[in-house]
């Protein structure tokens, strides 16, 4: 009945929301913690706006990473695309070899400041975990199930939709989770090129020797990552229900 009371997702989620909304109310606390600062609270923008912008940037870049990554992986695991696999794996791996800061630095002179270079850098950076996980996920589908699906007369699209994707889903989701969590952290750096994210107080704080700003930004980014990770964990549990023992025990 009270199981939700012990649910870390609910508690951390609640903590994140309350902290973001009531950050201004904590100003006296930060004043006590950082007595040397004239301005103990980051007030150039509200934490609500920063958090929403951060989530928006991560969501948009992750959506691109997921769509492109899953599509590429499915393509190279089809008979028609098999020969492109080494090429795709190299290109995707290169995307993650470049540090995001370097991508941002290169993108700015080409595209200018703002959210756009950040979006491109993050999408490229998040591509590898998704593509790699999807290829691995499709390949670990049992060969017997694959052969049986073909042998009983499922069409290629039917096999993908009914057999391969459902069986691959937990591993694909793990790749997406890695990609999104990495991007939540990396998006903070995007504030160096003028994208509005939770990295803004951190960067301003670092350059202005204001530790309070750094702490405020870091705590919210950290909580956001933890909440997202817990949410993925919950989602993963729904995808492989058939692996659990209690499901069949009721039969």
Partner 1 sequence: MITFEHVGKTYGDWTAIEDLSLHIPKGEFCVLIGPSGSGKTTTLKMINRLIEHDRGRILFEGAEIRSFAPEQLRRRMGYAIQSIGLFPHWTVEENIGAVPRLLGWPKSRIRDRVTELLGLLALEPERFRDRYPRHLSGGQQQRVGVARALAADPAVLLMDEPFGALDPVTRDTLQAEMLRIHKASGTTIVLVTHDIDEAIRLGSRIVILDHGRIVQSGSPREILAKPASDFVADFVGREDIGIKLLSIERVGDRMRPGEMAEGEPIAADASLRHALSIFVARGIDRLPVVDQSGTVAGAIRLTDLTGAAP
Contact positions toward partner 1, by CB under 8 A? 142-155, 158, 162-163, 166-167, 240, 242-243, 245, 247-248, 250-251
Report the nearest approach of partner 1 to the CB of residue 159 (Å): 10
Q: Compare residues 137 and 226 and give the one whose CB is closer to partner 1.
A: 137
DSSP annotation string for 8-70 = HHHHHHHHHHHHHHSGGGGHHHHHHH-TT-S--S--SS-HHHHHHHHHHHHHHHHHHHHHHHH
Closer of 80 and 143 to partner 1 (Cβ): 143
Q: Which helix (H) or strand (E) holds 6?
A: none
Smallest distance, partner 1 to C-beta of residue 243, A: 7
Measured in degrees and rounded to the nearest 5, phi and psi for residue 240 equal -120, 50
Tokens 């973001």 belong to residue: 20
Nearest approach in angstroms of CB 161 to partner 1 is 13
Q: Which long-range contacts (CB under 8 A, 24 or more apart) does 138-144 make?
A: 138/73, 138/74, 138/77, 138/164, 138/168, 139/77, 140/168, 140/171, 141/167, 141/168, 142/167
Tell me if 173 sits within 8 A of 232, measured CB to CB: yes
Q: How far is the CB of 35 from partner 1 (least distance, A)?
A: 59
For residues 21 and 145, which CB has a smaller minimum distance to partner 1 in the complex? 145
CB nearer to partner 1: pick between 4 and 242: 242
Instruction: Copy the structure tokens of residue 58.
Output: 């991560």
C-alpha 166: how far from chain center: 21
Tell me how far, at minimum, the Cβ of 139 lies from partner 1, in Å.
Answer: 15
Residue 52 or 247: the one with the smaller Cβ distance to partner 1 is 247
Give the C-alpha separation, 16 to 243, whole Å.
32
Indicate the residue among 79 and 153 with the shorter CB distance to partner 1: 153
Cβ proximity to partner 1, 19 vs 169, nearer residue: 169
CA neighbor of 239 nearest in space, from 189, 169, 181, 162: 169
Q: How many CB atoms lie within 10 A of CB 181?
A: 20
Q: How far is the CB of 176 from partner 1 (least distance, A)?
A: 19
What is the closest distance, in whole angstroms, from the C-beta atom of residue 78 to partner 1 in the complex? 16
* d(C-alpha 98, C-alpha 118), whole Å: 14
């Amino acid at each position: 009945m009270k199981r939700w009371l012990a649910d870390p997702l609910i508690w951390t989620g609640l903590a994140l929301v309350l902290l973001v909304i009531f950050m201004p109310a904590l100003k006296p606390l930060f004043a006590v913690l950082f007595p040397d600062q004239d301005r103990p609270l980051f007030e150039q923008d509200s934490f609500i706006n920063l958090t929403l912008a951060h989530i928006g940037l991560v969501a948009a870049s992750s959506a691109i990473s997921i769509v492109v990554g899953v599509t590429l992986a499915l393509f190279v695991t089809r008979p028609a695309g098999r020969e492109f696999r080494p090429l795709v794996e190299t290109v995707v791996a290169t995307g993650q070899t470049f540090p995001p800061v370097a991508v941002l630095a290169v993108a700015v002179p080409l595209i200018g400041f703002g959210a756009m270079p950040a979006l491109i850098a993050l999408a490229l950076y998040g591509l590898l975990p998704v593509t790699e996980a999807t290829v691995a996920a499709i390949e670990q589908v049992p060969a017997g199930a694959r052969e049986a699906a073909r042998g009983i007369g499922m069409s290629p699209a039917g096999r993908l939709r009914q057999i391969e994707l459902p069986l691959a889903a937990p591993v694909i989701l793990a790749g997406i989770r890695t990609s999104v969590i990495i991007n939540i952290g990396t998006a903070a750096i995007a504030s160096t090129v003028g994208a509005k994210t939770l990295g803004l107080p951190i960067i301003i704080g670092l350059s202005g020797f204001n530790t309070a700003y750094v702490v405020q930004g870091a705590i919210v980014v950290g909580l956001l990552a933890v909440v997202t990770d817990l949410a993925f964990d919950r989602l993963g549990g729904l995808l492989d229900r058939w692996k659990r023992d209690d499901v069949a025990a009721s039969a």
